[in-house]
Structure 1
Amino acid sequence: MKRTLPLLITIATYALAFLYFSPVLWLLVTGFKTEGEAIIVPPSILFEPTLENLRLVWDAGASAFIGHSAIVSMTSTVLALILGVPAAYALAMLKVKKADDVLFWFISTKMLPAVGVIIPIYLVLKELGLLDSLIALVLLYTAMNVPLVVWMMRSFFKDIPYETIEAGRVDGATGLQGFFKITLPLVRPGIISTALLCFVFAWNEFFFGVSLTSTNAATMPVFMSSYMTQQGLFWAKMSSVATLAVLPALVLGWFTQRQLVRGLTMGAVKG
């Protein structure tokens, strides 16, 4: 019984993991089917794979849309970290007046649905001449991710004993030296996990992308929606585009999984 239970738990874990991954697996498989095979009911399991869909979506300009998504996601993630990490540090480690109110204000900005602010944002960007530009998406995605950075990083900073900072000050470290040389190295896993989440949220964002861009700054989700036409849904081509869109996040998650797990177990869900 002692040997059977761990084996059953392992099997159940793999089965659950496969269940969660099955939609992604089906997406990958559909991308290698023809349009006819992609809409067959019941679905065909045995088929002759084809790269025609990948060739067609690549010839349609997929590389440009991938470039837009990469630039916007990476730039907005870096900016969100630059703005959010010091703010989280101040709220967690320094005696800031009404810190809880400030923290609530940050998270309250996530409560308003995007559709409720799209009209004023559209008008402002139109007046500034920033419609259909990467700069507009970078600014919006940065603002979208800063509250996430502040909330997550504050929890990571809270896990650091304040005595560590005091010890650094006793040794002669200034406030900035203590922040960069003592505190940041201790929360590096938290920064990596937070950065990955910000990147994924920016990479997957669709509403602002489809509302504020057309060709010059359209991202991968917008490109994917172009295969939803009046003639119908091109499932095989949409699956190919989705495969290209999913790969960067999967690759990043794979290479940073150790730091990601370590970061998420440092207390990122604490208040």
Structure 2
Amino acid sequence: MARAVSNREKTVTTIVAWTLGILMFFPILWIAILSLKTEVDAIRGPIEVLTSGWTTESYGAVQARSDYFKHFTNSVVIALGSTLLGLLIAVPAAWAMAFVPAKRTKNVLMWMLSTKMLPPVGVLIPIYLIFRDTGLLDTRTGLVIVLMLINLPIIIWMLYTYFREIPGEILEAARMDGASLRKEVLYVLTPMAVPGIASTVLLNVILAWNEAFWTLNLTASKAAPLTAFIASYSSPEGLFYAKLSAASVMAIAPILIIGWFSQKQLVRGLTFGAVK
């Protein structure tokens, strides 16, 4: 029997939740405020910043200096491309691990996850040389491949968790009805795991969208996404806080909007199978 929650506990929990939420969101709010200030006002104290005038000139300057829509298009292609390519590989791999008995499945999963612990700079030089010699340097295709590879362990791990919650008897029934392996994966398994697949897609799009190390080191101008767009406002002459804040807002706004409208689906997918 569930324990009754008192009004005092609800109030305390609400206050703590709001406090944590405000603390986590405050940096984004402050960046948005600085983006609406002049460069002179942006470096003043907090009180002076809030009481100074408001302007959108930084957004105009950013767009005049950089082609925002080119970088935005690159980010969309790279994030979606790497996620979809990862799904094509991860769905069969996760299916095999979840439904084909194997003694070392958990060891393989742990090994894949351990590859995320490797510092990216440790393999930067060989990957850079491979990309240079194969013509993948500063291309969308190259970034799609490398981001797919670095996020593939997470995709497989998440899908494996969701697939394990699906009763194996359903797949056995499909096989008895004459379903081939391809139809079993496409028409039985995948529709049942839509919440989990959706949350996996959202999470990996966010990871690919925010990836900075590889995008800064493997691109120059042609395939540069929004992370390179932001970094261009940090120069030896100093930081242009207002313009840097405007560029940051323009870069994070699309992913914030997607996350806001898909939060229910994301939560549903992340809690998929948690309650039986």
Band the TM-score falls in, shorter-chain normalisation: over 0.9
Residue in structure 2 matched with residue 35 of structure 1 by the alignment: 39
Higher mean C-alpha displacement, 7-16 vs 121-130: 7-16
Which stretches of structure 1, 4 residues or longer, exceed 4 Å deviation after superposition? none
Letter aligned with residue 70 of structure 1: V
1:16 maps onto 2:23 in alignment: no
Show the 5 A alignment for 1:176-195: 176-195=182-201
1:156 maps onto 2:156 in alignment: no
Per-residue CA shift, 1:118-170, capped at 9, x if unaligned? 10111111111221111111110111111111011100111111122122223
Q: State whether residues 90 and 96 of structure 1, in contact with CA within 8 Å, keep that contact through their aligned partners in structure 2.
A: no
Residue in structure 1 matched with residue 135 of structure 2 by the alignment: 129
- Give 5+ residue unaligned stretches, structure 2: none
Identity %: 40
Show the 5 A alignment for 1:1-271: 2-43=6-47, 44-59=49-64, 60-96=66-102, 98-267=104-273
Equivalenced residues, count: 268
Distance 2:178 2:218 in 1: 50
> What is the DSSP-based 3-state SS (H/G/I as helix, E as strand, rest coil) of the residue aligned with 1:109?
helix
How far the C-alpha of 1:107 sits from its partner, in A, is 1.7
Distance 1:129 1:210 in 2: 17
Letter aligned with residue 27 of structure 1: I
How far the C-alpha of 1:219 sits from its partner, in A, is 1.3
Pairwise CA RMSD: 1.7
Distance 2:77 2:184 in 1: 32
Per-residue CA shift, 1:59-98, capped at 9, x if unaligned? 2211111111111111111101111121111111112463
> What is the DSSP-based 3-state SS (H/G/I as helix, E as strand, rest coil) of the residue aligned with 1:49?
coil
1:14–1:113 distance in 2 versus 1, CA, 3 Å: same
| TM-score scaled by length of structure 1 | 0.93
Letter aligned with residue 53 of structure 2: E
Higher mean C-alpha displacement, 124-133 vs 2-11: 2-11
| TM-score scaled by length of structure 2 | 0.91
Letter aligned with residue 49 of structure 1: W
Higher mean C-alpha displacement, 94-103 vs 16-25: 94-103
Per-residue CA shift, 1:188-214, capped at 9, x if unaligned? 111111111111111111111111111
Distance 2:207 2:7 in 1: 42
- Give 5+ residue unaligned stretches, structure 1: none
Letter aligned with residue 243 of structure 1: V
How far the C-alpha of 1:228 sits from its partner, in A, is 1.0
